[in-house]
Amino acid sequence: MSLLEVRGVTQRFGELVAVKDVSLDVEAGELHAIIGPNGAGKTTFFNMISGFYEPTAGRIVFDGTDVTDIPAHERVAMGMARTFQITEVFPELTVRQNLRIAVEVTRGLRLRLFSTRGQAAATEQRIDELLEMGGLAGNAERHVGELSHGDQRSTEIMMALATNPKLLLLDEPAAGMGHKETYDTALLIRRLHRKHKLTIVLVEHDMRVIFNLADRITVLAEGEVLDRGTPDEIAASEKVQVAYLGEKREGS
Ligand SMILES: Nc1ncnc2c1ncn2[C@@H]1O[C@H](COP(=O)(O)OP(=O)(O)OP(=O)(O)O)[C@@H](O)[C@H]1O
Ligand SMILES: [Mg+2]
């Protein structure tokens, strides 16, 4: 059984079919990348996996449970976490305060208890672990709004990890970043995957990130699966090269 089994999902917006009959299996421990030209349906597909959109058709099975009709916040409690294409953090709070919110929300979801001194200590310990894992320990007391784009993104990823997810969904984590920040973000993702054994589904436009990190790649084009395979197979795919020819993307 795969950790995530998406069976023929479709998403219609009126006349537009943004995602059409897309299936995907993600094994535990895999890093699966989803690529495709602008408007291919990648974010829409993520929105269905994470529960923000209800599929027009198809089923989604996560960790053995059919979650198609289960709301987004319950999927988080079941071990699914995501980040957004646009970073979502509290810029006026410090990194530690942002992580504290995420950790406390997680504990509240799971335990529904008032915080005792022991629990407060456990929260601080968990925050320290997340700071360390995310390479953010040196920035813990800085306001997130003052940090580089890359460190803001790391903060957001570590907030998602505060929920102890089995599956992490990352939507364009390197969007709008320069070379160094893109590289740092890729290193963080690699570490979470290799060292912490996280299962990750990643949407990304930066091909260096994709081809260095992914175990397998699914290519979407106009809402449908165009091709799927290892990075080497996708790099050699004629269909994929044709789909990308002529694509113009701002900022890359
Ligand atoms: N809520 C919505 N209502 C109507 N149309 C939508 C909605 N969300 C997305 N779309 C449309 O669905 C199609 C797929 O959009 P989506 O954002 O999933 O693409 P994407 O692959 O993530 O693109 P990008 O690379 O630009 O992020 C686009 O034509 C988009 O305009
Ligand atoms: Mg998108």
Got the DSSP string for 121-148?
A: HHHHHHHHHHHHHTT-GGGTTSBGGGS-
Q: Return the domain boundaries, the chain.
A: 4-244
- Residue 251's pLDDT band, with cuts at 50, 70 and 90, is very low
pLDDT of the residue at 111:
54
Cα(146) to centroid(ligand 1), Å: 31
- What residues contact 31, with CB distance under 8 A and at least 6 apart? 189, 193, 199, 200, 202, 213, 214, 215
pLDDT at 93 over 50: yes
Confidence check: pLDDT of 132 > 80: yes
Ligand 1 center from residue 41 Cα (angstroms): 5
Mean pLDDT of 223-235: 96
The Å distance, Cα 92 to ligand 2 centre, comes to 26
pLDDT number for residue 83: 84
- Separation CA 4–CA 25 (nearest Å): 6
Residues constituting the chain: 252
Testing ligand 1's pocket by substitution, the residue of 19, 22, 43, 205 carrying the most ligand atoms inside 8 A of its CB is 43
At 247 the pLDDT is: 52
Taking the centre of ligand 2 as the mean of its atom positions, its distance from the CA of residue 252, in whole angstroms, is 15
At 226, give phi and psi (nearest 5°).
-90, -40
Residues with CB under 6 A from ligand 1: 13, 16, 18, 36, 38-44, 85
- Of 62 and 86, the structure prediction assigns the larger pLDDT to 62
Range 4-244: architecture per CATH: 3-Layer(aba) Sandwich (3.40)
The C-alpha atoms of residue 240 and residue 228 are separated, in whole angstroms, by 10
Q: Ligand 1, closest atom to CA 46? A: 18
pLDDT by residue (tens digit) across 36-60?
999 999 999 999 999 999 999 999 9
- Closest approach atom of ligand 1 to CA 47: 18
Pairwise CA distance, residues 176 & 86, whole Å: 10
